[in-house]
Amino acid sequence: MMGPIDSIEGRLVVDGDQVFAIVAARFNEFVVERLVEGAVDTLLRHGVARERIVLVKTPGAFELPLACQRMAASGNVAAVIALGCVIRGATPHFDYVAGEAAKGCGQVAAATGIPVAFGVLTTDTIEQAVERAGTKAGNKGADAARVAIEMVSLGQALTESGY
Ligand code: INI
């Protein structure tokens, strides 16, 4: 009987002196600041030196892709962590802002080959956003930072495997 096929996976280990960029929107800042704290805390706990974390701020989530694009295309960062908070109740153009942020961040990753972790909350209410920003439903900024670390590691593993 043949055994299971080995998978190529990233690890939650920072192996090297990579720079991680956090690109955070100021809109709904009281929520996004908690996401930034979660992301920074996670990066530090995984051994990323404080000097290797670059924090960039945009006005809103709609502007995240452009700033992510600049960081990713610079050749100087291993991964980008996009953080923001779009609340349906607060905006009639929720779908445009949230949709463009998600699509744009995905396009940046595909165009540059640099992982872009999407840590943008898209919720119906402020309460739901607060729950996901370090209270009862965890911290999506921390989650996004873990994804960034894993994707950098996956990139290294793929290179080592010849892909
Ligand atoms: N930007 C957000 O990040 N979150 C929101 O909830 C939001 N609302 O409610 O409108 C929001 N709007 C601003 C948008 O991101 C742009 O900055 C603006 O449209 C100018 O381009």
- Per-residue pLDDT of 142-157, as tens digits, reads 999 999 999 999 999 9
Residue nearest to atom 11 of ligand 1 (CA): 60
Specify whether the CB–CB gap between 21 and 81 falls below 8 A: yes
Specify whether the CB–CB gap between 89 and 123 falls below 8 A: no
The pLDDT value given to residue 49:
96
The residue with tokens 């892709």 is 65
Cα gap 151→145, rounded to integer Å: 10
Cα gap 124→77, rounded to integer Å: 33
Q: Percent of the chain having pLDDT more than 70?
A: 99
The pLDDT value given to residue 136:
87
The pLDDT value given to residue 31:
97
What the block records as the tokens of 102 is 């998600």
Cα gap 14→52, rounded to integer Å: 12
Q: Which helix (H) or strand (E) holds 18?
A: none
Cα gap 157→163, rounded to integer Å: 9
pLDDT in tens, 37-88: 999 999 999 999 999 999 999 999 999 999 999 999 999 999 999 999 999 9
Cα gap 109→78, rounded to integer Å: 11
Q: What's the whole-model pTM score?
A: 0.96
Span from the CA of 28 to the centroid of ligand 1 (angstroms):
9
Mean pLDDT along residues 111-139: 95
Centre a 10 Å sphere on the Cβ of residue 33 and count the other Cβ atoms it contains: 17
Q: What is the mean pLDDT of the chain?
A: 95
Span from the CA of 61 to the centroid of ligand 1 (angstroms):
6
46 is catalytic: no
The pLDDT value given to residue 1:
66
Q: Does the pLDDT of residue 100 top 80, yes or no? A: yes
pLDDT band at residue 90 using 50, 70 and 90 as cut-offs: low
The pLDDT value given to residue 62:
97
* Catalytic choice (93, 111, 124, 125): 93
What the block records as the tokens of 33 is 């600041």
